Amino acid sequence: MIRFLSFIVLILSIVRAVPAESREVKKKSAKVSPTNYFVKKEEKNFSLLMEARRFGRGEVIFLRLTPKDKKWINESFKVSWLGKDVILTKREKSMVAFLPVSPDTPAGAMTLEIVSKIFFVKRGQKQYQIILEPTKFQVIKKNQQIKVDEKFVTKELPKETLDFIQECKTAKEAAFAKQSPLQFANNFKNPLEKIFITSKFYVRRDYNNKQGRPHGGVDFRGKTGTPIFAIQDGVVVLARKTYYEGNFTIVDHGNKIFSFYMHQDEIKVKVGDVVKQGQIIGAVGTTGMSTGPHLHLGAKINDTLVDPLSLIALQSIAESN
């Protein structure tokens, strides 16, 4: 049995705040992850649904706005999240968006603002606030530091190596700058047939007695050559050897949503390829800054790194759900 939790939501207007609503617990289909949380609002002119694995740092929140009158789907709406404009995609009955929460977001309320003269005839806009849950990312103890080739942690490198690193950086920035319409309409899936996580998102680790940056993805254990599957439909925007990531692939899923796959033994796609969810795009390996065979899966939404598992956990993307 699944609990449907209307998380603490404060409804704000321009003039004054309305008291927060009480929690409601409802039964849901067994297909929905028991760990996911939902916010559901029935307004006069539309309904609002927000789903997340949890409302915390590094997570993705799925948003669906469904007008009560079907003709309003073609009207112009503006939505902002944490002060940034949100890319909305119109579907047959609703509008959807993906809201990233940076792992570095400060504690407090997260604000969603909807601007519409159709929905809010008098004031023209409305705000919703969700309280950010406390999040503690793992810190690896110094006596558990990771040993890697010294060439990955030293700054004393030959000019040709530094030039290659800069070339890789430029290629990655260009790939993540791509903009395209939303490419998918179904839920995300896992990148490997068998899932065993060896390193979680945003873990802070030391490399060769030097503090490293937080882990920007999730590591999955796998034997060299194990097939890697695209977690969602999209277009390949990068597929090449890079210095730190090894054999590296980035897939554009539209609306500034990207998944990326690092340390591959082999890349089986090329830039420009249209891939389908579940398609083999590479093989597990240990190239680049790696200590053993594994897949590093990452996700970025609107230039914000998020935990890819929070995308995979979403169950409401398909409109039929």
Among all residues, which ones are annotated catalytic?
294
Cα–Cα distance for residue pair 187/76, rounded to 1 Å: 26
User: Chain-centre distance of CA 195, in angstroms?
Assistant: 19
CA distances to 18, 105, 269 from 306, in Å: 31, 11, 24
Query: Is 284:192 a contact under the CB 8 Å cutoff?
Result: yes
Candidates 96, 244, 116; CA nearest to 171 is: 244
Q: In 3-state terms, what secondary structure has residue 70? A: helix
One DSSP character per residue, 153-216 reads T-S---HHHHHHHHHHHHHHHHHHT--------S----SSSS--EEE-TT-B-EETTEEPPPP-
Q: In 3-state terms, what secondary structure has residue 142? A: helix
Cα–Cα distance for residue pair 49/199, rounded to 1 Å: 31
Q: If you ran DSSP here, which 8-state letter would residue 225 be given?
A: T
Query: Is 298:222 a contact under the CB 8 Å cutoff?
Result: no
Kind of pairing between the strands at 84-85 and 89-90: unpaired
